[in-house]
């Protein structure tokens, strides 16, 4: 029987279990994948702890991104999907579908092919990161040549995707990381500037880099008190996207800075794109084309075998990685 990852109580990676369950047939609107690799995300760490935007219904599965081969489809799904190599797009609740398993059921609408030159490991490191960055930077902010964009937590897979996207659009990326030990690698991955926020004054650095203009776009997964600094670093009329809450601290609204600069501070989730079929189709083509021609390329931090899923999440939560953590499935 295929194995899946499941947890029966809230907590960290230590609550994860590998369990066997009978093979399932896909129902209406569904497809079945033989999984070869799975990408890990911060959202899943929050989900298993009960700190995500939705609470898990215990016992719960886990995982948004799986790459594999479709081996069966539901009665109303195009049979041409069978045999195709695909990766899943985060367009569903983990309470309904979970992608960490040797064999999984996924909504057919959440399947995305990727360029054949990519491996399964690379294929499992595409849709969450690039669609998250695309929705904010391209679809909403319309990032353009010469724009300054601040990218906190830039060593994450989404941060690296945002840096690549900024470069592809001719914008100027200002990556931030807590300590300077990741600076050289972030510059090698495409950042135009890197600020170590525990060692440098982010506001002063952004002013110097931008010639006192500030950044028109800020793409932040941290939130908490850090938002006040980001507001100070923003340009008049700028937009700050809050797409995560890594700090887990209360997030004060920088009222007077927002008033005097006319800032937009906007909550954002990639489901704004992935749950809208028309927007998703445009976004998938944008990402696919740039993966195919080499403008985008996944940075894999480390791979772990399926049996070491808990260890993989511990590594993800250590903040030691630069890029995507991926599980390989036999």
C-alpha torsion sign, points 306, 309, 313, 314: negative
Q: Check if the beta carbon of residue 316 is closer than 8 Å to that of residue 325.
A: yes
Question: pLDDT tier at 246 (50, 70, 90 boundaries)?
Answer: confident
Residue 319 or residue 296, greater confidence: 296
Torsion of CA 116, 121, 324, 289, to 10 degrees: 10
pTM for this one?
A: 0.93
Mean pLDDT of 2-18: 97
Question: pLDDT tier at 160 (50, 70, 90 boundaries)?
Answer: very high
Mean pLDDT of 111-134: 96
**Res 279: pLDDT:** 96
Q: At residue 247, does pLDDT exceed 90?
A: no
Q: Check if the beta carbon of residue 309 is closer than 8 Å to that of residue 19.
A: no
**182-195 pLDDT, tens digit each:** 999 999 999 999 99
**29-41 pLDDT, tens digit each:** 999 999 999 999 9
Mean pLDDT of 63-85: 97
Q: At residue 248, does pLDDT exceed 90?
A: no
Q: What is the mean pLDDT of the chain?
A: 96
Residue 167 neighbours by CB distance under 10 Å: 17
Using alpha carbons only, give the angle 268, 282, 166 rounded to the nearest 5 degrees: 60
**Res 319: pLDDT:** 84
């Amino acid at each position: 029987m295929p194995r899946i990852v499941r947890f029966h109580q809230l907590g960290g990676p230590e609550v994860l279990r590998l369990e066997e369950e009978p093979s399932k047939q896909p129902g209406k609107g569904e497809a079945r994948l033989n999984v070869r690799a799975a990408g890990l995300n911060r959202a899943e760490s929050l989900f298993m702890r009960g700190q995500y935007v939705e609470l898990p219904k215990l016992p719960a599965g886990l995982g948004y991104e799986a790459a594999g081969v479709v081996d069966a489809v539901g009665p109303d799904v195009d049979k041409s999907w069978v045999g195709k190599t695909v990766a899943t797009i985060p367009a569903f609740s983990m309470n309904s579908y979970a992608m960490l398993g040797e064999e999984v059921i996924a909504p057919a609408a959440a399947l995305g092919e990727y360029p054949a030159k990519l491996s399964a490991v690379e294929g499992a490191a595409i849709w969450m990161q690039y669609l998250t960055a695309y929705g904010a930077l391209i679809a909403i902010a319309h990032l353009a040549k010469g724009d300054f964009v601040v990218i906190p937590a830039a060593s994450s897979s989404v941060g690296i995707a945002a840096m690549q996207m900024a470069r592809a659009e001719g914008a100027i990326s200002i990556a931030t990381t807590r300590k300077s030990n990741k600076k050289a690698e972030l510059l090698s991955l495409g950042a135009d500037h890197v600020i170590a926020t525990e060692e440098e004054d982010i506001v002063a650095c952004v002013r110097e880099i931008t010639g006192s203009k500030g950044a028109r776009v800020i793409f932040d997964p941290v939130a908490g008190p850090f938002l006040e600094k980001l507001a100070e670093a923003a340009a008049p009329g700028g937009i700050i996207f809050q797409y995560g809450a890594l700090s887990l601290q209360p997030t004060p609204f920088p009222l007077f800075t927002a008033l005097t600069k006319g800032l937009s501070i906007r909550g954002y989730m990639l489901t704004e794109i992935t749950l809208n079929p028309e927007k998703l189709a445009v976004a998938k083509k944008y990402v696919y084309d740039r993966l195919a021609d080499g403008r985008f390329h996944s940075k894999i931090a480390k791979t772990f075998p399926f049996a070491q899923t808990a260890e993989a999440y511990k590594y993800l939560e250590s903040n030691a990685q630069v890029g995507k953590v991926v599980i390989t499935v036999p």
